[in-house]
Amino acid sequence: QVQLVESGGGSVQPGGSLRLSCAASGSIFSIVSMGWYRQAPGKQRELVATLTNSGSTGYVDSVKGRFTISRDNAKITVYLQMNNLKPEDTAVYYCNIFTLRVGAPSNYWGQGTQVTVSS
């Protein structure tokens, strides 16, 4: 059974930094992409950053230049370095791993970690 365990959330002042981690355990194969989503109160979940198996990255416009997604393939861990945090970054952050094995897609999700940016 695949599990994604997130860590690194917390409270920080505007301008501060946090690093989120998401470690996968269990048998997971044919990873297509790894990513981070977030959901603020009263809003829909949005895609924040993605990292494909080929190394391509993508970011929502609001975090470009401030957030960096990376991974450790050996540990099947994905990271999100968040710098110059703003109050509008406050949300629950979820990691996601998308796999495609024998034509069957699967999405795996972490439990979510709270990020609060406030003075």
**Tell me, what's the pLDDT at 78?**
97
**Tell me, what's the pLDDT at 37?**
98
Placement of tokens 């198996």 in the chain: 53
Q: Provide the 3-class DSSP secondary structure of residue 2.
A: coil
**Token couple for 6:** 């997130």
How confident is the model over 20-60, as pLDDT tens digits?
Answer: 999 998 888 888 999 999 999 999 999 999 999 999 999 99
pLDDT category at 3 given cuts 50, 70, 90 is: very high
Torsion sign (Cα): 111, 101, 45, 7: positive
75 has a pLDDT exceeding 90:
no
Among the residues of the chain, which ranges form H helices? none
Q: Report the percent of the chain where pLDDT is more than 70.
A: 100
